[in-house]
């Protein structure tokens, strides 16, 4: 039995979550039963998302429908679930898919210009023609304004797939295009008993950056308006509450309609009988037809309304950060609508049009038409860097790996989470606030860190143990680093459509800012695995704030930093001023190791898509040679002898193959994983070889090379984590563990020991603190106390790191410094000794070392 709790808030409209199981504990095909804290049976829908090599369940996913709040649940394998009185139903007839939750019914045409033809509650139609809209320009928005022609397009659905069909949860995937460009995937999530439907919208950029400028993209629905104008209501979320207005307002008039009428209108209830002195003059009270809430930045939104097109807008008191939720309808029902992380993903907008007509229109803009059109052109002209030699010179000065034509956004993507809720009446303000909160922090059931550790998933980690001053000091520093990035995201405003979820790479203490404008020092793009650090910290602490930060990063780095179509499909871009700007396109950025956590914890289908894009990751090595600018040998990608680095490259391949195997039982992925592990084990120098030639047809390495080549980056993109998982699986691959332990022992060994064992001193040794976790792993596997002491010494002291000094090691006191005055935009607190490389690798090394050799820390 597994105890479950809410991550931060209950999921009242239905929720899906994942649970890990120890190897051999649950047979595939076993049912699952769920009960609440009072012992009442709860209908649950379950499926398997991963299996162990023996076929037993590794990860299961579960869903419950809408229900009253309950703080805890118990999940029990091997027992049949309770039957649900209310179920999700899916029916297909005449090209129309009808999905009902028991409360609302959506009618979805299998092709055409709508995502849903109608939304009904009971026998009453609430909304119709739910559709995607977009605006396109052929030129950028002029700096000083002026007319620019815009083309408005409605998205066309080309394919509809039912991915799940109940009884508790149904998922419908719709695929199509925004006109003749921007392919999209939309998923609709239905839960038994729910009035709310969650919508996941992903589009892939496939325009020409010099000719295609996206001026707006949004979700639109028409809302049936039946009530008198004074019984129609508009609600738009502000900083903490809502704009609360009627289409025809009865408050503030010169004549009083009566206290009960005024209170009823403000509360959203029927106004009832109106004093004739007012009632006979209703036609003289303006009807406010149109409303707009425009979130132009993370710091401000504007509100305005008008009586009709052709008349002036009237401004409404504005605010800072809208929760991104709205309602339009009347006392007989209406539509709630919104966008998660609305202000964080600016520029965004909520529109209500024609509220005084028979059909109002609500639009959630993912990119506001009020903002300048999206401009994805490269940010500089190349500055004459036309040859590899010139580009390497540029790399030396700005750390930017530039190459003409490679700073192309074509193929990057973005995913947004929206909601539509069919309501039978205008909701009370507190109910609307609850809707907005549930949208922005959707409920998630989670197992405790203790229970997840017991399952033995995700490699090397243990629960925090501040039992000694030395242990407590490291835990405090782990908290300091995470809290720093939360603070930096806020004070540096790391928000926006393309940026939210990422962090910056390196700090500039002279300007008291991150190096947002300096080549490869700007957006981090998963460099040195901050994704892994955050997820490992969540696993061990169970902190909801860590989960939400890691969730946002996974959404960003898996979409924006990776190509999903075109010549670099399946590859990601190294760090840059623009997320897609670097010419280094590698698997180490699209790494499945960074996505697995979120997928297994939430069963999120979109994250599953991202890993499905890596079903044959080895084929990406035929596209481009990551080492093309620095190679000393002559090499052209050859399918029979592809150059694959045994660090960042193979670690990413192994993560993709392992994930494919455990999710689908894919024998091809398994064979390539085991075959390359055996190849590494057969190499005379194992991982120290640095690179091997891979045969795409056989899925095997050429194991004849006897060279030694070590890179300081090899182990910093998930290789230690994936090797630890593979060794723990005990897959019976000869020589693999020995090869890994040799690498772990020798990387930070003395030059004399290196020379004695492999005949030469290793060069390229750097990032000492980060690599201390390799030494720790070898110490733990061989039960070598002296090696454990050596690992703690390398973690603690800045020894021999001549290539890349680790400021985190040299900084004795980790404190924030206040910077105030005219030299900064606004007062801030900084930690100039922190870079994301150092923070992520300190975090991972600390987590590994505490788990592996924590018992030796006090002695050291």
Nearest to 71 by CA among 2, 3, 5: 5
**Domain parsing of the chain, residue ranges:** 2-77, 89-133+152-219, 223-374+417-440, 615-765
Sequence-distant (6+) residues with CB within 8 A of 178 are 132, 134, 153, 155, 184, 203, 217
Range scoring the smallest mean pLDDT among 77-81, 452-456, 527-531, 795-799: 795-799
Q: How far apart are CA 785 and CA 464, in angstroms?
A: 22
Task: Specify the DSSP element, H or E, that contains 797.
Answer: none
Angle of helix 785-796 versus helix 836-853 axis, rounded to 10: 160
pLDDT tens string 185-224: 999 999 999 999 999 999 999 999 999 999 999 999 999 9
Q: How far apart are CA 383 and CA 393, in angstroms?
A: 12
Q: How far apart are CA 184 and CA 203, in angstroms?
A: 4
Instruction: Take residue 148 and report the two structure tokens written for it.
Output: 């620019």
Q: How far apart are CA 148 and CA 371, in angstroms?
A: 13
709 pLDDT higher than 80: yes
Question: φ and ψ at 101, to 5 degrees?
Answer: -100, 0
Sequence-distant (6+) residues with CB within 8 A of 527 are 505, 574, 575, 836, 837
| Geometric angle at alpha carbon 391, from 390 and 394, rounded to 5° | 90
Instruction: Take residue 276 and report the two structure tokens written for it.
Output: 């004739």
Q: What confidence category does residue 860 fall into, taking pLDDT thresholds of 50, 70 and 90? A: low
pLDDT tens string 558-571: 999 999 999 999 99
In this structure, are residues 171 and 605 in contact, taking their beta carbons and an 8 Å threshold? Answer: yes
Angle of helix 530-541 versus helix 544-559 axis, rounded to 10: 150
Burial 637-667 (b: 16+ CB within 10 A, else e): eeeebbbbbbbbbbbbbbbbbbbbbbbeebe
68 pLDDT higher than 80: no
Q: How far apart are CA 567 and CA 175, in angstroms?
A: 21
Tell me what the pLDDT averaged over the chain comes to. 96
pLDDT at residue number 437: 95
* Strand positions, DSSP E, 280-357: 290-297, 300-306, 314-319, 325-330, 333-339, 348-353
Q: What confidence category does residue 632 fall into, taking pLDDT thresholds of 50, 70 and 90? A: confident
Sequence-distant (6+) residues with CB within 8 A of 77 are 21, 25, 26, 30, 31, 32, 57, 60
Instruction: Take residue 481 and report the two structure tokens written for it.
Output: 């680093």
Query: Other CB atoms closer than 10 Å to residue 688's CB: what's the count?
Result: 22
pLDDT at residue number 80: 94
Beta strand 45-51 with 57-64 is antiparallel
pLDDT at residue number 805: 59
Burial 511-525 (b: 16+ CB within 10 A, else e): eebbbbebbbbbbbb
Q: What confidence category does residue 71 fall into, taking pLDDT thresholds of 50, 70 and 90? A: confident
Name beta bridge partners: 92. 97
Q: How far apart are CA 701 and CA 723, in angstroms?
A: 17
Indicate the SS3 state at residue 691.
strand
pLDDT tens string 514-538: 999 999 999 999 999 999 999 999 9
740 pLDDT higher than 90: yes
The stretches of 456-529 forming alpha helices (DSSP H) are 469-491
Q: Can you tell me which residue has the tokens 């392992």?
A: 658
Instruction: Take residue 82 and report the two structure tokens written for it.
Output: 């309770």
**Chain center to CA of 414:** 10
pLDDT tens string 251-300: 999 999 999 999 999 999 999 999 999 999 999 999 999 999 999 999 99
3-state secondary structure string, 404-442? CCCCCCCCCEEEEEEEEEEECCCCCHHHHHHHHHHHHCC
Nearest to 600 by CA among 62, 23, 8, 75: 62
pLDDT at residue number 803: 44
Q: Which 8-state DSSP code applies to residue 562? A: B
Q: What confidence category does residue 84 fall into, taking pLDDT thresholds of 50, 70 and 90? A: confident
In this structure, are residues 407 and 583 in contact, taking their beta carbons and an 8 Å threshold? Answer: yes
| Geometric angle at alpha carbon 425, from 165 and 12, rounded to 5° | 45
Question: φ and ψ at 73, to 5 degrees?
Answer: -135, 165
In this structure, are residues 501 and 552 in contact, taking their beta carbons and an 8 Å threshold? Answer: yes
810 pLDDT higher than 90: no
Give CA separation, 30 vs 39, 167, 457, in Å: 21, 17, 20
pLDDT tens string 355-388: 999 999 999 999 999 999 999 999 999 999 999 9
pLDDT at residue number 69: 73
Q: How far apart are CA 381 and CA 757, in angstroms?
A: 50
Give CA separation, 147 vs 150, 151, 393, 723, in Å: 9, 13, 42, 58
Sequence-distant (6+) residues with CB within 8 A of 301 are 238, 293, 294, 295, 318, 319, 320, 321, 322, 343
Q: How far apart are CA 572 and CA 626, in angstroms?
A: 11
pTM for the structure as a whole = 0.97
pLDDT at residue number 503: 98
**Chain center to CA of 534:** 12
Instruction: Take residue 265 and report the two structure tokens written for it.
Output: 């209108």
Q: Can you tell me which residue has the tokens 């193959």?
A: 657
């Amino acid at each position: 039995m597994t105890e479950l709790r809410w991550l931060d808030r209950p999921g009242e409209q239905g929720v899906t979550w994942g649970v890990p199981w120890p190897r051999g504990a649950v047979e595939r095909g076993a049912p699952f039963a769920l009960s609440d804290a009072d012992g009442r049976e709860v209908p649950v829908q379950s499926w398997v998302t991963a299996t162990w090599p023996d076929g037993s369940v590794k990860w299961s996913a579960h869903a419950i429908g809408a229900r009253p709040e309950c703080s805890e649940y118990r999940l029990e394998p091997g027992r049949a679930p309770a039957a649900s009185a209310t179920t999700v139903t899916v029916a297909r007839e005449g090209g129309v898919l009808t999905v009902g939750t028991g409360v609302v019914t959506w009618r979805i045409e299998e092709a055409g210009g709508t995502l849903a033809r109608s939304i009904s509650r009971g026998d009453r139609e609430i909304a119709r023609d739910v559709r995607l809209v977009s605006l396109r320009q052929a030129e950028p928005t002029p700096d000083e304004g002026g007319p620019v022609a815009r083309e408005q397009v409605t998205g066309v659905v080309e394919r509809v797939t039912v991915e799940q069909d109940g009884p508790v949860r149904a998922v419908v995937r719709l695929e199509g295009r925004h006109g003749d460009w921007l392919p999209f995937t939309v998923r609709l999530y239905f839960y038994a008993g729910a009035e709310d439907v969650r919508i996941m919208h992903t589009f892939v950029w496939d325009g020409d950056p010099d000719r295609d400028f996206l001026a707006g993209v949004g979700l639109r629905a028409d809302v049936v308006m039946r009530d008198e104008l004074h019984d129609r209501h508009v609600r738009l979320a502000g900083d903490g509450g809502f704009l609360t207005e009627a289409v025809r307002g009865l408050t503030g008039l010169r004549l009083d309609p009566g206290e009960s009428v005024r209170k009823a209108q403000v509360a959203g209830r029927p106004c009832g009988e109106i004093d004739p002195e007012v009632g006979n003059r209703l036609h003289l009270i303006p009807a406010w037809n149109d409303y707009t809430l425009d979130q132009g930045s993370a710091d401000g939104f504007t509100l305005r309304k008008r009586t009709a097109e052709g008349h002036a807008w009237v401004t409404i008191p504005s605010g800072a950060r809208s929760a991104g939720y709205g309602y339009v309808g009347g006392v007989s029902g209406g539509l709630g609508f919104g966008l998660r992380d609305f202000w964080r993903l600016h520029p965004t907008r909520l529109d209500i049009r024609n509220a005084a007509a028979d059909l109002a229109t609500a639009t959630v803009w993912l990119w506001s038409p009020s903002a300048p059109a999206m401009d994805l052109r490269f940010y500089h002209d190349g500055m004459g860097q036309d040859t590899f030699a010139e580009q390497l010179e540029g790399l030396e000065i700005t750390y930017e790996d530039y190459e003409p034509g490679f700073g192309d956004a074509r193929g990057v993507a973005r995913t947004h989470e929206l909601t539509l809720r069919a309501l039978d009446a205008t909701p009370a303000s507190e109910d609307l606030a609850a809707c907005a909160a549930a949208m922005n922090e959707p409920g998630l059931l989670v197992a405790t860190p203790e229970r997840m550790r017991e399952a033995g998933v995700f490699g090397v980690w243990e629960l925090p143990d501040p039992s000694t001053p030395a242990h407590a000091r490291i835990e405090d520093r782990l908290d300091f680093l995470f809290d720093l990035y939360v603070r930096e995201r806020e004070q540096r405003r790391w928000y926006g459509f393309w940026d939210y979820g990422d962090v910056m790479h390196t700090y500039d203490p002279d300007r008291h800012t991150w190096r947002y404008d300096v080549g490869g020092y700007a957006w981090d793009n998963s460099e040195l695995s901050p994704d892994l650090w955050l997820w490992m910290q969540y696993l061990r602490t169970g902190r909801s704030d860590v989960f939400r930060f890691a969730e946002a990063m996974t959404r960003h780095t898996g979409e924006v930093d990776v190509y999903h179509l075109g010549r670099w499909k399946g590859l990601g871009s190294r760090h840059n001023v623009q997320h897609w700007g670097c010419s280094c396109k590698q698997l180490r950025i699209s790494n499945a190791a960074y996505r697995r956590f979120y997928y297994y914890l939430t069963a999120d289908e979109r994250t599953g898509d991202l890993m499905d894009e890596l079903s044959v990751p080895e084929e990406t090595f035929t596209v481009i040679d990551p080492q093309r600018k620095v190679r000393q040998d002559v090499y052209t990608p050859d399918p029979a002898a592809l150059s694959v680095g045994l660090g960042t490259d193979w670690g990413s391949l192994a993560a993709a193959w392992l994930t494919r195997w455990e999710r689908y039982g894919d024998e091809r992925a398994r064979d390539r994983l085991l075959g390359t592990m055996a190849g590494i084990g057969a190499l005379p120098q194992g991982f120290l070889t640095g690179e091997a030639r891979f045969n795409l047809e056989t899925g095997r390495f050429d194991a004849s090379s006897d060279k030694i080549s070590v890179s300081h980056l090899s182990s910093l993109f998930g290789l230690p984590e994936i090797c630890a998982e593979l060794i723990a699986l005990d897959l019976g691959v000869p020589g693999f563990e020995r090869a890994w332990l040799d690498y772990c022992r020798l990387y930070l060994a003395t030059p004399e020991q290196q020379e004695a064992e492999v005949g030469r001193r290793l060069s390229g040794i750097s990032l000492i603190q980060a690599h201390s976790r390799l030494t720790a792993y070898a110490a733990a596997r061989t039960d070598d106390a002296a090696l454990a002491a050596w690992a703690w010494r390398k973690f603690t002291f800045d020894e021999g790191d001549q290539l890349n000094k680790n400021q985190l090691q040299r900084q004795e006191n980790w404190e924030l410094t206040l910077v105030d005055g005219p030299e900064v935009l606004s007062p801030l607190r900084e930690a100039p000794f922190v870079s994301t490389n150092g923070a992520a690798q300190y975090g991972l090394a600390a987590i590994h070392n505490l788990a592996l050799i924590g018992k030796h820390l006090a002695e050291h």
